[in-house]
Amino acid sequence: MILTQEQFQEYKEKLDEDGYVVVKGLVSPTKAQEYESRFWDYIESLSESKLIDRNDPTTWNDENWPNNIHGIFKNFKIGHAQFVWDARDEDGIVGLYQQLWNTEDLLVSFDGACMIRPSVWNHKTNNWAHTDQAPLIELSEYNAKPKMVRDFPCVQGLLNLRPCGPNDGGLVVYKGSHKHHQHYFIKKGIDQKINKPWKDSKNHWHLIDQEVEDNRKFLSKFEKIKVCCDPGDFIIWHSRTVHYAEAIDKTLNTDPLAHRMCIYICMLPSKYATASDLHKKREALSELQTTSHWPCIKIKTNKNDRPNITKGFVVPEVLPVLTDRMKRLAGVEPSFQFTDNYVQKKYSSKSK
Q: What is the pLDDT of residues 1-10, one digit of tens each?
A: 899 999 999 9
Order of strands across the sheet with 20-23? 20-23, 234-238, 155-160, 260-264, 113-116, 72-73
User: Over 70: is that where the pLDDT of 344 sits?
Assistant: no
Least confident interval from 38-52, 123-137, 256-270: 123-137
Residue 250: its pLDDT value, please? 77
Distance CA 89, CA 45 (A): 23
pLDDT confidence tier of residue 350, bands split at 50, 70 and 90 = very low
306 SS3 class: coil
pLDDT confidence tier of residue 352, bands split at 50, 70 and 90 = very low
Q: Please give the residue that has the higher pLDDT: either 134 or 201.
A: 134
Query: How far, rounded to the nearest angstrom, does the alpha carbon of residue 341 sit from its chain's CA centroid?
Result: 26
pLDDT in tens, 193-244: 433 444 444 456 788 888 889 999 999 999 999 999 999 999 999 999 999 9
Residue 199: its pLDDT value, please? 45
Residue 188: its pLDDT value, please? 77
For the segment 247-253, the average pLDDT, to the nearest whole number, is 81
Residue 301: its pLDDT value, please? 82
For the segment 112-131, the average pLDDT, to the nearest whole number, is 76
Residue 143: its pLDDT value, please? 43
Residue 148: its pLDDT value, please? 53
For the segment 130-159, the average pLDDT, to the nearest whole number, is 68
Range of the domain at 331: 5-351
Question: What are the helix (H) ranges across 238-319?
Answer: 275-286, 307-310
Distance CA 248, CA 130 (A): 19
Residue 123: its pLDDT value, please? 46
Distance CA 144, CA 114 (A): 37
The average confidence (pLDDT) of the chain is 86
Residue 247: its pLDDT value, please? 85
Distance CA 254, CA 96 (A): 36
Number of domains in the chain: 1
97 SS3 class: helix
What's the CATH number where 125 sits? Answer: 2.60.120.620
Residue 120: its pLDDT value, please? 59
pLDDT in tens, 49-93: 889 999 999 999 989 999 998 889 999 999 999 999 999 999 999
Question: What are the helix (H) ranges across 143-251?
Answer: 181-187, 213-220
Q: Please give the residue that has the higher pLDDT: either 169 or 351.
A: 169
Residue 202: its pLDDT value, please? 47
Q: Please give the residue that has the higher pLDDT: either 206 or 38.
A: 38
**Per-residue DSSP letter, 100:** H
For the segment 112-130, the average pLDDT, to the nearest whole number, is 75
Residue 152: its pLDDT value, please? 65
Burial of 289 (0-12, 13-18, 19+ CB in 10 A): buried
Task: Give the highest mean pLDDT range of 34-43, 276-285, 309-318.
Answer: 34-43
pLDDT in tens, 309-326: 888 899 998 999 999 999
Residue 49: its pLDDT value, please? 86
pLDDT confidence tier of residue 132, bands split at 50, 70 and 90 = confident
The CA distances from residue 76 to 40, 42, 106, 290, 305, in Å, are 14, 10, 26, 9, 6
Residue 128: its pLDDT value, please? 85
The CA distances from residue 90 to 141, 172, 266, in Å, are 27, 25, 13
Query: How far, rounded to the nearest angstrom, does the alpha carbon of residue 21 sit from its chain's CA centroid?
Result: 16
140 SS3 class: coil
